[in-house]
Amino acid sequence: MMTMKKYDKFELVENNHADEANVLALLKSIFRHKWSIAAFVFVVALFTTLIVSNIQTTYRASNTLLIEQSSNNLLSIEHIYGTEVTSTDYLQTQFGILRSRSLIERVVRELDLTTHPELDPRQEQKPLIDWKGMFSSNKEAEEDSQDVVATLPEPTGEHIIHEGFTRTNEEVFDDVVNNLSNKVFISPVTKTQLVEVHVEMHDAAAAVEITNALAKAYIESELDAKQATAKTATIWMEAQLEELKEHLHDSEQALQDFLEEKGLVNLNGITTISADQLTNNSTRLSDGRRAFYEAESMYRQVANIRKSDYMRLASVPAVMADPVVTQFKAAEATASSKVEELKKRYGNQHPLMIAATTELASAQANLRAQVEQVVASIENSYQLAKANNNALTNTYEENKDNIQDITRNEFKVRELQREVETNRSLYDTFLTRLKETTARQSLETAGARIIDEAVFPKYPIKPKKKLIVALASVVALIIGIGFALLIEALSNRFRSTADLETKLRRPVMGVLPAVKNKRSGIYHAYLDPQETSFADGIRNIRTNLILSQAKEAYKTIFVTSTAVNEGKSTVANNLAIALGSMERVLLIDSNLRDPIVAKNYQISANHAGLIDLISGKTALENCVVKHDGIDIMPTGVMQANALDALSSPRFVQVLNALAAQYDRIVIDGPAAQEVGDALILSRNVDAVIYVVNPDDVRMSQAQTSLDKLIQIGAPVKGVVMNT
């Protein structure tokens, strides 16, 4: 339980250098196997070099073509057939034509490539390693095939025996075409109408010849196709022209027959006159109808009261509109007023009364006569307007029928004229196209031209021998590193702080990275401003050591390791300096067989030290040297019984006396595996720090040595990983 509680205290301090230590451990593992990795990389590179040096080189011949969709042709047959395509579709089509089988067959025939060693399947070289033969166990089938070949008739000009079977010339030709097709590549230049034609072959001269021949064959095939298209178009247009000529003649004859049938000469003039007449009649009819409606309105006003008193007729608006009626009506009213006035003064026989009565009768007679005359006039006007309206209506209808007949004839004539004009326009268009096509056949130009012809390539395109060797070396390096790490993983070494804690069952108090500037002295690297990572590691050890204390502080601290050269002296010296920045610290070198502290601080070998203090020959002040803010006690002058001094009671007394004068005493002890001095010293101290270098000690060695310390009751407080 005590051990677990202390372990929990250590977990409170974050170890900032654990990951860095793990990385450094991996790098050191790789470094230990550097010569094996280098040898493996060298062998792989050498083997790869031998292989690629035997690979046949491939050369690429390239030329550049300019493919133009629109050329200065006199006739575009696409307009006739309606097969216009976009620029992208056109270029893609041409790329396909460049790799078409028909074009490659044309090149094979022109250059007679059926006997070329690289294309002729009859001259194909066998591979260096016949994998099929290695895994084939049916030798009887091979013998049977040889028997069949022996029984075949002698080859003629059309048959060739090759590799145990008969091949016809057509089959050989097809194989050559297929082989060449696999060697032709088309690369369009982005955002241009340029295209690069590549041919890759082992024979550079043949690649150049085939590339240029392929481009020329493409241009010639395009010209042939255009001429064939123009010829086809000419034949088609001649047939269409004859048919259009017949249609034109029929339409003209139909127009002429209709004009003769209807007796029409100048239809435009007749149409204009008839239209004017119809317009005039329409205007007159409108005026007549308006007059008729007015007369009818006036007639209806008097027709209903014609038999009534004339005075009622005189009140009708149509009658009152007559000025004479108005005048007579006013006279009658005046005479009537006069009679009424005289009647009040005189009798009926009075001369004035008689005269007034006579005047009234005369006025009434005049009014009656005028009203009757106006009514008669209204009746006459109505009858006249009615007759006029009927006459105008009849005239308008007659002209309207005539105009409709003329319009129907006009529509028919226009229809026949449009058909004649349409047929004549088509006929003229096809006649013009036919003449252009005939002229085009002698002026036809190709839509593609060679910009750059293929030249003899200076360097092969593949294999890229340097790149292959470099890649093989990199892969070999990765594989070698992988194997090195695998070996390390399988080896009996510590690979991380977790391994230390698990296998040694002690907490890791700190991880020390490698010192970068070893010239300034690793024994006091804690004070070097450039070694910040190392200083942080020492501070972590100091902090964990202080936190691991129970009630009382660890006055005496013993630093040891499994074997020599694991860095225990480096840890002891720098830990003493770190503690010395806060407390009074004494550093004691107890490694009597291999003292290192005096060498680090350049102290004389004859300087008094621990042995002299234990023997009582020298006082304490003569055994101590001040350096880096701490007191340092070397081993002292070696004596005959010096090794027995550490196990004597005098050593314990001296140690207790020193503990009373100093806050901390750090003891740089011997390795636990080498001698028994470490076991003796570890029993007389308050705390033991065990240093492990995973590169120099195996897991089993560290476990064995640490178990010995624990068995004798040594207060091992933790482990330090020194990378």
pLDDT digits (tens, 9 = 90+) for 537-569: 889 989 888 888 877 888 899 999 888 888 888
User: What is the pLDDT, as a whole number, of residue 306?
Assistant: 63
Asked, for residue 604, whether it belongs to a domain, the answer is yes
pLDDT at position 70 is: 53
- pLDDT of res. 149: 41
- Tokens for 253? 């004859």
- Spatial CB neighbours of 189, under 8 Å, sequence gap ≥ 6: 64, 195, 196
pLDDT confidence of residue 99: 85
Q: To the nearest whole number, what is the mean pLDDT of the chain?
A: 78
CATH number at residue 298: 1.10.287
Contact 389, 289 (CB under 8 A): yes
> 662 and 631 in contact (C-beta within 8 Å)?
yes
Q: Are residues 594 and 716 in the same domain?
A: yes
* Residues 395 and 312 grouped into a single domain: yes
Query: What are φ and ψ of residue 692, in 5° steps?
Result: -130, 125
Same domain, 383 and 519: no
Q: How far is CA 207 from the centre of its chain?
A: 36
- Residues in the chain predicted with pLDDT less than 50, given as ranges, are 1-17, 71-85, 131, 135, 137-164, 269-270
537 part of a folded domain = yes
Long-range contacts formed by 22-30: CB under 8 A, 24+ apart: 22/495, 22/496, 22/497, 24/513, 24/514, 24/723, 25/494, 25/495, 25/496, 25/694, 25/695, 25/723, 26/485, 26/488, 28/695, 28/723, 29/484, 29/485, 29/488, 29/495, 29/695, 30/481, 30/484, 30/485
Based on the domain organization, do 318 and 380 belong to the same domain?
yes
509 and 432 part of one domain: no
Give the end of a domain, one of 440, 460, 482.
440
- Could you tell me if 551 and 411 lie in one domain? no
> What is the number of domains present in the chain?
2
- Which of 440, 456, 472 corresponds to the end of one domain? 440
**Residues 538, 418 share a domain:** no
| Residue 573 sits in the same domain as residue 663 | yes
In the numeric block, which tokens belong to residue 78?
């696409």
Please state the pTM of the whole predicted model: 0.42
Q: Which domain covers residue 597, as residue numbers? A: 2-26+494-722
Residue 369's contacts (CB-CB under 8 Å, 6 or more residues apart) are none
Q: Convert the pLDDT of each residue in 434-445 to its tens digit.
A: 777 776 665 556
**Which of 440, 455, 472 is the endpoint of a domain?**
440
Residue 133 is assigned to a structural domain of this protein: no
Q: Which pair of structure tokens corresponds to residue 462?
A: 């593949």
Give the domain CATH number at 520.
3.40.50.300
Residue 436 and residue 541 in one domain: no
* Residue 184 belongs to a domain: no
Looking at residue 10, what is its pLDDT? Answer: 40
On whether both 378 and 512 belong to a single domain, the answer is: no
Q: Which residues pair with 452 in a beta bridge?
A: 64
Q: What is d(CA 90, CA 93) in angstroms, rounded to the nearest whole number?
A: 5
Q: Which among 691, 681, 689 has a CA at the least distance from the CA of 721? A: 691
Torsion angle defined by CA atoms of residues 485, 489, 490 and 491, in that order, rounded to the nearest 10 degrees: 90
Question: Buried b / exposed e across 674-684, counting CB within 10 Å, b at 16+?
Answer: beebbbbbbeb
Residue-wise DSSP of 434-493 = HHHHHHHTTT---SEEEEE-----SS-SB--HHHHHHHHHHHHHHHHHHHHHHHHHHSSS
685 domain-assigned: yes
